[in-house]
Amino acid sequence: MITRRAAGMGAAASFAVAAAHSPAAAADTIELPTPRRTGGRPLMEALALRRSIRAYSSKPLPLQLLSDLLWAANGINRPAEGGRTAPYWRHIMVLDTYAAMADGVWLYDPQAHRLLRHSREDIRADTGLQDFVGGAPLNLVYVAHGERMHDVSPPERRFFASVDTGFIGQNVYLFCASEGLATVFRGAVPYERLEKRLRLPPEQFVTFAQTIGYPAA
Ligand SMILES: Cc1cc2nc3c(=O)[nH]c(=O)nc-3n(C[C@H](O)[C@H](O)[C@H](O)COP(=O)(O)O)c2cc1C
């Protein structure tokens, strides 16, 4: 596992990492461009288009779209108080969002709106039990910090963390519907294998995963 540190790379170099998924890319941080907070389809149109799609092009997402997507998923929409685009249990943020892409695994840092490299391994195929996950450009993996959930039993931890994840998943669905992207929220996940590949400590667990990309032509 690679230490989560800023590499001080310029925006152009960071862009190359996300856009080209170059195996030689060395950056440990991708500074995401400011997310667009306007535009997109009207909500009712996005709702009308929302659906699950299971056939993907391998084309990577441009950096601006990745930035917008992560912000829509669970970014900070009220900077003064750190409020998020998705609601969460007891005002305790228990979820991390990992982005599994061809060039490795990245952890979304909502405070700085950037991606921190978690590993250089392509683990996309291990984020699910369906064939399309390994070829899609992006699989989000939602990870809960059980240790942050005090006074509740392990089943309740999984329950509340799953509900939190569902809200994020729907944000992603609506964003994808708005942008003409394909997505599917997934519980068919090889949990033990994926947690091992992510090298999660025992108190953390995967709740769900979600594939995102351009629909296959
Ligand atoms: C909790 C949950 C788990 C899901 N797991 C999977 C999955 O592992 N694989 C998959 O292809 N779809 C999965 N889905 C997507 C559903 O199959 C899909 O939403 C449902 O069939 C309705 O289709 P629609 O989303 O196109 O309306 C899941 C949905 C939810 C809410």
pLDDT digits (tens, 9 = 90+) for 168-183: 999 999 999 999 999 9
Look up residue 30 and give its amino acid.
I
Quick check: 163 and 142 in contact, CB under 8 A? no
Of 15-29, 53-67, 122-136, 138-152, minimum mean pLDDT range: 15-29
Phi first, then psi, for residue 213 (nearest 5°) are 175, -175
- Identify whether 155 is part of a domain: yes
Give 85's Cβ-side CA count (13 Å radius): 21
Which of 56, 159, 184 best tests ligand 1's pocket when mutated (most atoms within 8 Å of CB)?
184
Pairwise CA distance, residues 29 & 31, whole Å: 6
Pairwise CA distance, residues 140 & 162, whole Å: 14
More confident residue, 217 or 46: 46
- Identify whether 4 is part of a domain: no
What was the pLDDT predicted at 11?
34
Q: Please give the distance of CA 96 from its chain centroid, rounded to a whole number.
A: 8
3-state secondary structure (DSSP) of residue 104: strand
Q: Report the chain's mean pLDDT, rounded to a whole number.
A: 90
DSSP letter string, 125-136: GGG-SSGGGGTS
Pairwise CA distance, residues 113 & 9, whole Å: 15
Cα–ligand 1 centroid distance for 52 (angstroms): 7
Query: Burial, 5: exposed, middle or buried (Cβ in 10 Å; 0-12, 13-18, 19+)?
Result: exposed
| pLDDT reading at 43 higher than 70 | yes
Cα–ligand 1 centroid distance for 142 (angstroms): 15
Cα–ligand 1 centroid distance for 201 (angstroms): 28
- Identify whether 76 is part of a domain: yes
Pairwise CA distance, residues 102 & 139, whole Å: 10
Backbone region of residue 140 per phi and psi (left: phi > 0; alpha: psi in -120 to 50; beta: other values): beta
What was the pLDDT predicted at 217?
87
What was the pLDDT predicted at 26?
59
**Torsion over CA: 132, 58, 113, 192 (sign):** positive
- Identify whether 53 is part of a domain: no
Confidence of residue 201 (pLDDT cuts 50, 70, 90): very high
- Identify whether 45 is part of a domain: no
Q: Which residues line ligand 1 (CB under 6 A)?
A: 51-52, 54, 130, 184-188
- Identify whether 74 is part of a domain: yes
Could you tell me the CATH number of the domain that includes residue 159? 3.40.109.10
- Identify whether 186 is part of a domain: yes
Pairwise CA distance, residues 190 & 129, whole Å: 7
**Per-residue pLDDT tens for 61-120?**
999 999 999 999 999 999 999 999 999 999 899 999 999 999 999 999 999 999 999 999
Domain range enclosing 104:
11-36+61-213
Quick check: 92 and 16 in contact, CB under 8 A? no
- Identify whether 50 is part of a domain: no
Bridge partners of 76, per DSSP, are 84
**Per-residue pLDDT tens for 119-129?**
999 999 999 99
Pairwise CA distance, residues 192 & 205, whole Å: 9
Which of 52, 126, 189, 194 best tests ligand 1's pocket when mutated (most atoms within 8 Å of CB)?
52
Per the structure, how many domains does the chain have?
A: 1
Q: Give the residue, by CA position, lying nearest to ligand 1 atom 23.
A: 52
